[in-house]
Chains A and B, each alone.
Chain A
Amino acid sequence: MQAVERPKNAQPWTNLGPKVKLSSAITIIAPSVIYLAILLTTGMDFMAGLFTIFLPLQLLCGAWAGYYSYGKRGITDGLLLVVTFFLSLFVFVLLASVLWSVIESGFQALSPHFIYQNNVYVSGKTGLEIGGVGHAILGTALTVGISTLVTVPLGIATAVYLTETRDFGRGTVRTLLQAMSALPSVVSGLFIYSMLILSGWSGYSGLMGSLALIPLMLPTVSRVAEESLRLVPKDLRNGALALGAPSYRAFFMVTLPAAQSGIVTAVLLGIARVIGETAPILLTMTIANGTNLNPLQGGMATLPGYIFNYILLGDPTSIARAWGAALVLLIFVGILFAAARVASAPKKAKKRSAK
């Protein structure tokens, strides 16, 4: 058979035609140019003009381009396209600027010793060459770690209850979880503070911080785990039960492994949810300058606590330290989210074993 060569344009659906190309180009360029000219001549406020002059201009242009290319039905298309692009870009710029300010301000504090040293030798006079967030990283790891150890079994158990049983209590549990996910974190901190610390049952300690984080983490973990368990086809579970499996074995050997990546995501998202929580930490833990590995006693620093503490001190070096800690925290959260993405990515079929 004669081979058919792939033509240069094998994707005819991408041919937009000269009208669309021309009007799109005008829509992209014209409003920005006009707005820039107005800005330069009148010297008005950028943000004010963005919404009062640029956006209407851009919308007008989009509507015209739609009408010019496709007639009447193109108007809504053009308008929606402009609105979508404008808002997406707006949010993206906001996010990027937040990220950038953390990186820009935090970068000068960042150095190897900033990661592993603690703050014992830091005073008002020491510069950035001494001291770091090592103790705060350990503290965060400890408090969040304890919360995770408690929350993960509890959260997965809740998810199992919601997916595997048909008890009448499910609706109540689900509503409670939703309510919990809207719980302000300060309330959670206040609860532990008033119940366990004010009552004299315990002093300020890492453990109290962990306890305050649990109610914040639980809804995230159980909701995401529930979704991933729900995605496992019923057929698989039935297949296991039809082989004579008691339902607990069917769950542990078939349903849970099939939902594994989703469960991992649930755990990572739960950690990311609480790792930056400040309010509950401030109410339940005292901040220490030294390394403390005992969650039952004494003050313990955490990254959010460290940031809060140093930003309040107000001198340039302390503020730089706070930004540095924020950057470290941001990097940790970034790593967690990246890990969640990798864990939840569909698994590629394993390589076939050698024959």
Chain B
Amino acid sequence: MANFHLEAKDVNVWFGARHVLKNVNLQFPENQVTALIGPSGCGKSTFIRTLNRMHELIPGAGFAGEVLLDGKDIYGEAVDPVDVRIKIGMVFQKPNPFPTMSIKENVISGLKLSGISRPDAGDLVEQSLVRASMWNEVKDRLNDPAISLSGGQQQRLCIARSLAMDPDVLLMDEPCSALDPGSTRRIEETILELKESMTIVIVTHNMQQAQRISDRTAFFLAEDNTPGHVVEFGETQQIFYGPIDPRTNEYVNGRFG
């Protein structure tokens, strides 16, 4: 079996007594984009949160299984969730730049927040903004408050903020669902550039987006009050053009969900 960069083994999730994810097994190879698709409430967002232990912040959350990063379980006994989140970055559905900080401060906020000091913080700002393809737009107003940016720019700032931490894996939870088509296209271009240097997992409700940017796709489903699970997982082309499971076929062709 090939070595995968990030791997979820038999992931089960509960909220209180409610079982919301059942036996999820997914592998995320290095330098590939994996899309998670499925109807609302099927547990995709919950699952992506288990990958950097953000899930455990929800009151009443429960977890069983393993998530291996480079072969090591991030839920292991001696593992600090803070270290996990430094290595595995996350971009949320709604842009959430820190309102009290300037653009520049936002980019390097991760360093300050995690207590890492780097002498080249100035270069890092430029580097990260370039990687998030927004350097040219903001290079003249780095000291402006971050909330003066447009929604699409704010989201790319959040990506830049994650990139400044130089993560191995970037998790994106519907990063474009609040954005216009132009901003969406730019973020998609950014994702395709970023995958050269990291592993990306993205939750999306947009079938075209999944096809455009992902190498592999996993289809989640939660039927009739049963816990969510993975129906089908494979190459994106195969999921969209030759799905094995009829439910996948119906979903990707827009007949339910």
User: CB within 8 Å of B: which residues of A?
Assistant: 166, 233, 235-236, 238-246, 249-250, 253-254, 257-258, 260, 349-350, 352-353, 355
Contact = CB atoms under 8 A, between A and B. Distances in A.
A352 B149 CA distance: 11
B100 A243 contact: no
Contact of B145 (A238, A242, A350): A350
Contacts of B140: 355
A353 B139 CA distance: 12
Contacts of A239: 92, 96-98, 158, 161
Closest 6 CB pairs of A and B: A244-B86, A245-B113, A243-B110, A257-B100, A244-B114, A242-B90
Contact of B98 (A240, A241, A355): A240
A243 B115 CA distance: 11
Interface in B210-225: none
Interface stretch (B12-20, B30-38, B51-59, B235-243): B51-59
Interface string B104-115: 000001101111
A350 to B, nearest CB: 6
A245 B53 CA distance: 13
Nearest to A235: B96
A236 B158 CA distance: 11
20 contacts: A235-B96, A236-B96, A238-B57, A239-B96, A239-B158, A242-B54, A242-B162, A244-B86, A245-B113, A246-B82, A249-B113, A253-B112, A254-B113, A258-B99, A349-B145, A349-B148, A352-B144, A352-B148, A353-B144, A355-B140
A135 B123 CA distance: 57
Interface in B150-165: 158, 161-162, 165
A253 B109 contact: yes
B138 to A, nearest CB: 11
A244 B114 CA distance: 5
B166 to A, nearest CB: 11
Nearest to B87: A244
A253 B113 contact: yes
A contact patch SS = helix
Contacts of B161: 239, 243
Nearest to A239: B96
B70 interface: no
B94 interface: yes
Nearest to B148: A349
A350 B92 contact: no
A244 B144 contact: no
Contact of A240 (B89, B94, B113, B147): B113
A243 B97 CA distance: 12
Contacts of A254: 98, 100, 109, 113
B143 A353 contact: yes
A232 to B, nearest CB: 9
Interface in B108-147: 109-110, 112-115, 140-141, 143-145, 147
A352 B141 CA distance: 7
Contacts of A242: 52, 54, 85, 89-90, 92, 162
B83 A244 contact: yes
Interface in B39-94: 52, 54, 57, 59, 82-83, 85-86, 89-90, 92, 94
A243 B109 contact: yes
Given A241-B54, A243-B165, 19 more contacts: A235-B92, A238-B57, A238-B92, A239-B161, A240-B109, A242-B85, A242-B89, A242-B90, A243-B85, A243-B89, A244-B83, A249-B112, A253-B112, A258-B98, A258-B100, A350-B144, A350-B145, A352-B144, A355-B140
Residue with the highest number of chain A CB atoms closer than 10 Å, among B54, B59, B100, B114: B100
Contacts of B112: 249, 253
A239 B85 CA distance: 11
A349 B147 contact: yes
A238 B82 CA distance: 12
B108 to A, nearest CB: 10
Contacts of B147: 349
Nearest to A351: B144
Nearest to B161: A243
A236 B99 CA distance: 9
A238 B54 contact: yes
A113 B161 CA distance: 58
Contacts of A250: 113
Nearest to B85: A244
Contact of A243 (B59, B113, B141, B145): B113
Contact of A233 (B52, B90, B96, B110): B96
